[in-house]
Amino acid sequence: MKPVVVLSGAGLSAESGLGTFRDVDGLWTQYDLSEVATPEGFARDPALVLEFYNARRANMAAAAPNAAHRALAQLSAEPDVTLVTQNVDDLLERAGATGVIHMHGELSRALCHACGARWDAPDVMAADDACAACGAQATRPDVVWFGEIPYRMERIEALLSEAALFVSIGTSGTVYPAAGFVHLAREAGARTLELNLEASGSTFDESRIGPATELVPAWVAEMRSE
């Protein structure tokens, strides 16, 4: 298989019951992004932010991977396929995927913003939790907030520069740097394909419109028969 980079977003987990951000009833229609997803919001009210992510961690635990996660997990076993996700849930891993790059971090991990230590997050995080390594009461979910730099960007850009195919699944393409990956991939000569419930507005060589649980397994079957 030629090098493939798959970028996924909230639409991948929508049919598992996890809400997207910008659709009708999306998380950002119910919560103020600047309060719960920025370092400034966390500094103002850590308990509120932790409560928001505790609720999302509980939803994640109650959700199950869907057919799209399972198909991508199968594909991830191919040596030249890399899964990059903006999702902070663990549904790809629970479907068996390996090597997933979580560019916006993971709900299942905690981070100490005093010393940088990381560990498995408890189900419920509290503002007075102490860091396991340095003891500071400075723990936060290991997720990337607006104004912070997403994880593993150098690696992702290197992968995009070598990709023959870039596939975007269930993302609105509104949040940079992920929204720019299609352009980087195209500049590098990759074919670009979008699988989404509605066209995102970015320019792809091909857009397939429909639910991820139908489109992704069909596309993965195509890839594996090539």
200 binds ligand OAD per the rule CB under 6 A: yes
Q: Which residues does residue 111 pair with via DSSP β-bridges, in sequence order?
A: 118, 140
Q: Active-site residue 104, yes or no?
A: yes
86 binds ligand OAD per the rule CB under 6 A: yes
3 binds ligand OAD per the rule CB under 6 A: no
CB of 105 to ligand OAD, least distance (A): 8
Residues 181, 133: Cα–Cα separation, whole Å: 36
In angstroms and rounded to an integer, the radius of gyration of the C-alpha atoms of the chain is 18
54 binds ligand OAD per the rule CB under 6 A: no
Looking at residue 53, its amino acid is Y
Tell which residue, 222, 216, 218, 200, has the closest CA to residue 83. 216
Tell which residue, 153, 146, 217, 152, has the closest CA to residue 184. 153
Of the candidate spans 50-58, 92-100, 154-162, 192-200, the one that interacts with ligand OAD by CB under 6 A turns out to be 192-200
Per rule CB under 6 A, count of chain residues that contact ligand OAD: 26
Q: Which two tokens stand for residue 136?
A: 């500071």
190 binds ligand OAD per the rule CB under 6 A: no
Eight-state DSSP code of residue 145: P
Active site residues: 104
Residues that bind ligand OAD (CB under 6 A): 9-11, 14-15, 20-23, 26, 37, 86, 104, 144, 146, 170-172, 174-175, 196-198, 200, 211-212
